[in-house]
Chain A
């Protein structure tokens, strides 16, 4: 078994009175794709910024590649690669110069640098754009270039902060392929995202984070399994009473009130359980307003623990984040 490449213990980070990250602990195993999933403002970027030494570690400990971020930030910096959330490119350098610049500020020897540039330009398929200035690249190409840049120094961990934010669906699929490919070559991936499907498709392990706290963790499947085989969302005229009745149905393993309606977690096939649930509620004279049955998704996991849906702000509109990007 491989060891832990990231170890975080009791990490807390505040901005003034606001606790962005509140006493979180987790480990990342070498070689895995590890996701931090949560809504905007949950503390994902703050965590990544502490791990990559861009923010000082205020409280708790964090070790990356065996180096303490507080005591040995220089070594941490040398052993990681980062793809920032906002676009971080010099618009007037070419694709090749962008990689060249990166390799040089990381003091890579010339031969290694040139070989690696070629290799990575092939990997992210930017061969035809080598001498193009980055401002002329599409959003997806820029992202690919940033990923390539993050890999220049053959880091042991690649940090990706919202890697597909603001990209179209096809481009996202391609970026996921690159990330998977990079991981298969042995690079550990730490990624943050507020996209359920992204975390679901890519990750070996997921930590769901909200309001600076980790609220659930595990593989995508194990997280979804906590919600049983199927689940039903039910809205009635009298949720209070309906809750008590639903709890009486044997296949309903968990039932709880949500801000709107009820959430029922079922131990067996929902299409067979639903009629009996509906019947018993209606038999008590409670009018049913709406009913929805589904296989649990990571979205439901989030809703289950927080009572809210992951709301994406800017990304939902399909527009990239404004590039001013003060944290």
Chain B
């Protein structure tokens, strides 16, 4: 049996809603830029770059450039973590009943919503990247045109897999819980540790062991590694930490993200299969 195209209908609706809520669309596009602008610039001007040790012969990356990768990652994280929330609305005040009562297999909802979340992430990440370059973020410096293209594709691949992972997670949770409040509580509980135990905003090299252990199971860390590798190269220093990535490191980061996404896919699959809305 061939797979139906119904998930494209779900995706179509997701995207209609994305562009139709003008306020939300505006916020989604402007908020990460503001973050980069305010937090990035504020932090950079607090750091005296002459105090930060560098290694002769190794590229030294300024803070704005360093954290731009983190802001891209966090934006994708937030967008997707909250991206499944729409399903809760559908369940309580919308058309979830219609969808579940239809002959469409429920994984189409998951795939459609997932594709929607990934698309939104890609758009946002693309915009931040563009805005960052305008602000003076030094991504792809010294790259040839084809190297830059390769790097952008690499980043997009990481964004796609990471975003899919978190949108499935949030979709699965939305199908399981009853109230808006509980999802919000779970999200809040998740975002902080994910953000602060990762390498998005600072180096994790001097973390105590337990925190480093958390950081090592945090998908955000692997995602940020991927972005930095493609945007900054395999050998650089930032905030006094020497970063060296091999192709193997990045490949395994990618595999970790794939595994994470696989897990959340199964979680969401199961949540949809057992969902009852009557």
The interface of chain A, by Cβ under 8 A from chain B, is 49, 52-55, 74, 77-78, 82, 84, 86, 88-93, 97, 101-102, 104-107, 149, 323-327
Q: Which residue of B lies closest to A81 (CB)?
A: B101
Complex-state Cα separation, A74 to B4, whole angstroms: 14
Complex-state Cα separation, A205 to B5, whole angstroms: 40
Encode contact with A along B1-13: 1 for CB under 8 Å, 0 otherwise.
Answer: 0001110011011
Complex-state Cα separation, A82 to B21, whole angstroms: 29
Interface set, chain B 87-133, CB cutoff 8 A to A = 90, 92-95, 97-104, 108
Residues of A within 8 A of B20 (CB): 92
Q: Is the CB of A105 within 8 A of B16?
A: no
How many chain B residues sit at the interface, stated as a range, is 20 to 34
Complex-state Cα separation, A154 to B95, whole angstroms: 20
With contacts A49-B278, A324-B92 known, is A106 near B101, CB below 8 A? Answer: no
The interface of chain B, by Cβ under 8 A from chain A, is 4-6, 9-10, 12-13, 16-17, 20-21, 90, 92-95, 97-104, 108, 178, 276-278
Complex-state Cα separation, A327 to B91, whole angstroms: 12
Q: Is the CB of B278 within 8 A of A105?
A: no
Complex-state Cα separation, A55 to B275, whole angstroms: 11
Residues of B within 8 A of A86 (CB): 97
Q: Is the CB of B101 within 8 A of A52?
A: yes
| Given A77-B101, A323-B93, 8 other A-B residues pairs in contact with their CB atoms under 8 A | A54-B276, A88-B95, A90-B13, A91-B93, A101-B9, A105-B104, A106-B102, A107-B6
Q: Output the least CB separation between B115 and chain A (Å).
A: 15
Q: Is the CB of A104 within 8 A of B9?
A: yes
A-B contact pairs, 14 of them (CB 8 A): A54-B97, A54-B277, A54-B278, A77-B102, A82-B101, A88-B98, A90-B90, A92-B20, A92-B21, A97-B13, A101-B13, A105-B104, A107-B104, A323-B93
Give the secondary structure class of B's interface: helix
Which of A49, A77, A149 is within 8 Å of B103, CB to CB?
Answer: A77
Q: Is the CB of B102 within 8 A of A105?
A: yes
With contacts A74-B103, A77-B103, A90-B95 known, is A327 near B278, CB below 8 A? Answer: yes
Q: Is the CB of B4 within 8 A of A90?
A: no
Q: Output the least CB separation between B99 and chain A (Å).
A: 6
Residues of A within 8 A of B17 (CB): 92
Complex-state Cα separation, A90 to B20, whole angstroms: 13
Residues of B within 8 A of A89 (CB): 94-95
With contacts A90-B94, A324-B92 known, is A106 near B16, CB below 8 A? Answer: no
With contacts A84-B97, A88-B97 known, is A104 near B6, CB below 8 A? Answer: yes
Residues of A within 8 A of B104 (CB): 105-107
With contacts A101-B9, A107-B4, A107-B6 known, is A91 near B94, CB below 8 A? Answer: yes
Complex-state Cα separation, A91 to B6, whole angstroms: 21
Q: Is the CB of A53 within 8 A of B102?
A: no
Q: Is the CB of A54 within 8 A of B9?
A: no
Residues of A within 8 A of B108 (CB): 105
Q: Is the CB of B9 within 8 A of A105?
A: yes
Q: Is the CB of B93 within 8 A of A54?
A: no
Which of A53, A93, A325 is within 8 Å of B13, CB to CB?
Answer: A93
Q: Is the CB of B16 within 8 A of A93?
A: yes
Residues of B within 8 A of A104 (CB): 6, 9, 12
Residue in B95, B99, B102, B178 with the greatest tally of chain A CB atoms within 10 Å: B95
Q: Output the least CB separation between A281 and chain B (Å).
A: 51
Which of A54, A92, A325 is within 8 Å of B101, CB to CB?
Answer: A54
Residues of A within 8 A of B178 (CB): 326
Complex-state Cα separation, A52 to B178, whole angstroms: 23
Q: Output the least CB separation between B212 and chain A (Å).
A: 45
Residues of B within 8 A of A55 (CB): 276, 278
Q: Is the CB of A102 within 8 A of B98?
A: yes
Residues of B within 8 A of A52 (CB): 101
Residues of A within 8 A of B6 (CB): 104-105, 107
Complex-state Cα separation, A106 to B104, whole angstroms: 6
Residues of A within 8 A of B95 (CB): 88-90, 101
Residue in A49, A92, A104, A325 with the greatest tally of chain B CB atoms within 10 Å: A104
Residues of A within 8 A of B21 (CB): 92
Residues of A within 8 A of B93 (CB): 91, 323-324
